[in-house]
Chains A and B, each alone.
Chain A
């Protein structure tokens, strides 16, 4: 069975794009929180849960929205999975949470912050927003690894339980952020190429 890349998108500190076309430029030099809000507005989202999320989850939910917004996926919910890779994991939020517990005079651990100190929570948020009940996995490696995403996706697609997969690379640090996503589908041909490790690498590097 052949699989194809049917959509891809990116958000970073300078731009947001869908299928290689830029739809937002950070001309005002907005910081992370304001950039996320600006992209949320441009995408025309109306999802109140968004504002309760940490930055990593917001970034991932926006990335998924870019890909899935105008698509009408006809698979069953449990046939659509999410694979992610991150090098920073949830450290940006971990640091924030740590600050709420490091001073005994100012000790306010919050469950709504603590839950985001796991990198895979972003997949839960994307799953809830888009009703995706398929496989999930979160790898933490030192950088983007197209071959790892390819190998895992290929394993799931080949054995047949998953008909579509969202592959994501998501990183948030104090000074920078990045979200790169691609959608892989079963037997849907289009212009973005066959699903191969080198094609993922090319799309990641080319923009």
Chain B
């Protein structure tokens, strides 16, 4: 499979709004989750909220005025940072924008929202057009909204479009913000932990929500050290809001991704799990890793740093994985102390260093979908 190069990344989360601050905090194993009380119920919850007041300076520097929603401002900022690093022209007809989000501008449903009357902008495709128009890109942006695997699938499709030689570069942006809508829904599901989430831990009892945006710029021709080789997804056909107990979909997603990457499972050096810290998700991933014979490969989840960031998750976690490959680091699983899944897997609890050539990114989501990506360092 043709290698598609990662030539620029950005990460904006509860940890901060630069790559450097993310690298520093991850190295220190320092969480961005903090207790907040939000929403009608005003329950105190650990959340990965962005520092919107601070971000406002960045938005103003980019002349993002009030005709942009805060979701759109965040997506533009993430794209701008990654594009600047990549040094590409985002207005080129050979460049495509791909947007990954679950709820986009859902806040606009509220009649009190200043942009409520901009009726089309509640549509994900319309909001995506607002974002790509900022960069004067002439192509229609593509939107992938596939629950929590959106980001991973958007990366895979972005790379594939370049392999098909439809474009030279792809700007893949993922994002979701915490709204009353999303927060109340996860609360109603009783899937939120009262404490900062503890992926794969014995005491894990739910996820922590976070808001974030992240961007990865791909190139077909501009060489870089990290490349995306292949990806795949499979549905469990089991339950719309819970994973398969046998990790059915995840197993096939990894098998397919490995086969299309033309490598062997035993070449994987590092795994970035979905690791939401719900009892069922982490158990499923552990079972899947064992079925695949990957139980001894160092595995981390980054949800303890910034929470589950939904449409941003696959992209921000892949951006962190790419950095970890460059510096040969096995990333820590913030919040993890003692293994709490039924099969022995290798969860890394502190940062350590080892040569990394190939890495696997996992994601799973509502509807029973599971996705996998394979990255390579040359």
Contact = CB atoms under 8 A, between A and B. Distances in A.
Interface of A: 77-78, 82, 87-89, 91, 94-95, 97-98, 101-102, 104, 107, 109-111, 114-115, 117-121, 123-125, 127-128, 130-142, 148, 151-152, 155, 159, 161
Given A121-B367, A127-B237, A152 B157 contact: yes
Given A89-B124, A124-B369, A133-B249, A138 B145 contact: yes
Interface in B239-255: 239-241, 248-249, 252
A89 B235 contact: no
Contacts of A82: 235
Contact of A101 (B40, B232, B252): B40
B185 interface: yes
B106 interface: yes
A137 B140 contact: no
B367 A140 contact: no
Interface string B198-242: 000000000000000000000000000000000011111111110
A140 B241 CA distance: 21
A42 B237 CA distance: 25
Given A128-B238, A132-B235, A138-B145, A123 B124 contact: no
B371 to A, nearest CB: 9
12 contacts: A91-B122, A94-B109, A97-B181, A111-B185, A111-B241, A118-B102, A120-B145, A127-B368, A128-B238, A136-B146, A139-B143, A161-B256
Contacts of B238: 128
Contacts of A119: 145
Nearest to B367: A124
Nearest to B187: A109
Nearest to B191: A111
Contacts of A159: 260
Contact of A104 (B40, B146, B153, B161): B40
B125 A142 contact: yes
A131 B160 CA distance: 27
Contacts of B160: 155
B233 A135 contact: yes
B367 A118 contact: yes
Contacts of A91: 122-123
Interface string B140-165: 10111111000001000100110010
A128 B181 CA distance: 27
B125 A141 contact: yes
A140 B125 contact: yes
Contacts of B102: 118
Given A115-B241, A133-B252, A142-B126, A101 B144 contact: no
Nearest to A95: B109
Interface residues of B, number: 56
Contacts of A141: 125, 140, 142-143
Contacts of A128: 237-240, 368
A52 to B, nearest CB: 10
A132 B237 contact: yes
Given A109-B185, A120-B369, 15 more contacts: A89-B123, A95-B109, A97-B185, A101-B181, A111-B241, A117-B103, A118-B145, A118-B147, A121-B367, A128-B237, A128-B240, A133-B235, A133-B237, A139-B142, A142-B126
A136 B180 CA distance: 28
A127 B189 CA distance: 22
B240 A125 contact: yes
A123 B40 contact: no
B248 to A, nearest CB: 7
Contacts of B157: 137, 152
A82 B235 CA distance: 9
B366 interface: yes
Contacts of B260: 159, 161
Nearest to A104: B40
Interface string B4-21: 000000000000000000
Interface in B247-287: 248-249, 252, 256, 259-260
Contact of B240 (A107, A110, A124, A139): A124
A127 B235 contact: yes
A9 B147 CA distance: 26
B235 A123 contact: yes
Nearest to B256: A161
Interface in B24-61: 40-41
A155 B164 CA distance: 9
A120 B147 contact: yes
Nearest to A107: B40
Nearest to B112: A102
B189 A133 contact: no
B123 A118 contact: no
Nearest to B120: A142
